[in-house]
Amino acid sequence: MDSNWLIENARLIDPSSGMDRVGRLLIVGGRFAGVDSSDGDLPTQLSRIDARGLIAAPGLVDLGTEFGEPGREEDETIQTGTHAALAGGYTSVALSTNTLPPIDSAASVEFIHQKGARADNCRVYALGCVSKERKGESLAEIGSLVEAGAVALYDGPNPIENTGLLRRALEYCSMFDRVVFDHPEIASLSRGGVMHEGMEQLVLGMSPMPAEAEDLATSRDIRLVEATGGRLHLTSISTAGSAELCRRAKSRGIHFTVGCYTANFHMTDEMLRSFDCNCKVNPPLRSREHVEAIVEALSDGTIDIISSGHKPSSLEKKMVEIDTAPFGMIALETALSQVITYLIRPGVLNWHQAMAKMSLNPARLLGLPGGTLEIGKPADLVLIDPDRTWKVDADNLNSKSYNTPLDGVELYGVATHSFVQGRLRFEAAVR
């Protein structure tokens, strides 16, 4: 049975309504029931949290989260991954399709939902494959995937290189009002690459991943969505060229959404000087001018959504030569803190803008519950201590894997409580 909660003395941030003030928030029966309700309106059975100094905001929503299950449980399971999500303030995750087998059948979608329900942590949604087996050759059974509950279609982290396939997917998915996700990359230009092509790459002697591989794919995707009128989400741009292409297209009235990963708005390719395999990610860490362009695109609204880019890999997979190591880092437990530390505190984004990009916009894109403190809506909520500092310790994170380049870095901001449908599912340890 859902508990009734009264969150008192919190700074209430609601990007859906523009609310930003200190008050108290009432949760009854798993739903938001009132703001600043009088004592006479409170239920008799009530748990209270004094949230003085904390921010109460809609629970975060992550798109394209990667877990290992099924097939790579040594990296992450749905149980461990959803627990890590709660610790980072995420109350919903939409899982990517690069599992073994891929999520290209109704049974695969149902498996993800069943495992998510059994984990009983945050909400778990399945993305379905665009193409059969994620091979980019022929369309998956999209109708069956949608009927089974797939909330969007994605071959990630593989890019959709087959232009004809992407066009058909955009047209076909419009019939089901589903979004097609694409990781913009011309893989033939970056295949075998390890890091961003540039001076650092030349000095280190690593294989290049040129910015043009992303820019060309972004341009093509925009042109296709303009031609088809389909729904498109670019999952993770990282270059100045892509940012400018998206900005100009939106100014011409072309409708699509744009995302970025937390790593790409503050980490640079200079971090690869350490040869740390945890810095090998895709999109790669770019040079300073590209990072600055992504920050500008976040500030001016070109980028709509911030995703964690969570991609766990077991220790033995990352303890190899950087050329052969898999791409990816874990980020669910650090994403909010990275946004606070590198975007909110420097004044790039205010709290409303940040919560819109991490909660409201991804929820609206997929038609999911969340993103709001509106009365009557499901009480998916995160309480945040914006001023608490903490040092990332990979060994003490909740994720099953440890592949973070932020180990030992001090960050601002902690999710202290995470509620899903009015149930307190996570509470941080008191310091």
* 5-56+378-427 has CATH 2.30.40.10 classification: yes
**Pair of tokens at residue 330:** 């874990």
Largest CA-CA distance found in the chain, in angstroms, rounded? 70
The Cα 40–Cα 268 span in angstroms is 55
Q: What is the pLDDT of residue 30?
A: 95
Q: Where are the domains of the chain?
A: 5-56+378-427, 59-366
Torsion of CA 72, 418, 235, 293, to 10 degrees: -130
Q: What is the pLDDT of residue 430?
A: 67
Q: Name which CATH class applies to 59-366.
A: alpha beta
Point out which residues pair with 14 in neighbouring strands: 19
Q: What is the pLDDT of residue 1?
A: 42
CB 64 within 8 A of CB 35: no
The Cα 132–Cα 143 span in angstroms is 13
10 Å CB burial of residue 273 (0-12, 13-18, 19+) is: exposed
Q: What is the pLDDT of residue 317?
A: 95
Q: What is the pLDDT of residue 107?
A: 97
Per-residue pLDDT tens over the stretch 207-250:
999 999 999 999 999 999 999 999 999 999 999 999 999 999 99
Per-residue pLDDT tens over the stretch 146-156:
999 999 999 98
| Ranges under pLDDT 70 in the chain | 1-2, 430-431
In the numeric block, the tokens 């902690």 are attached to: 414
What is the Cα Rg of the chain in Å?
21
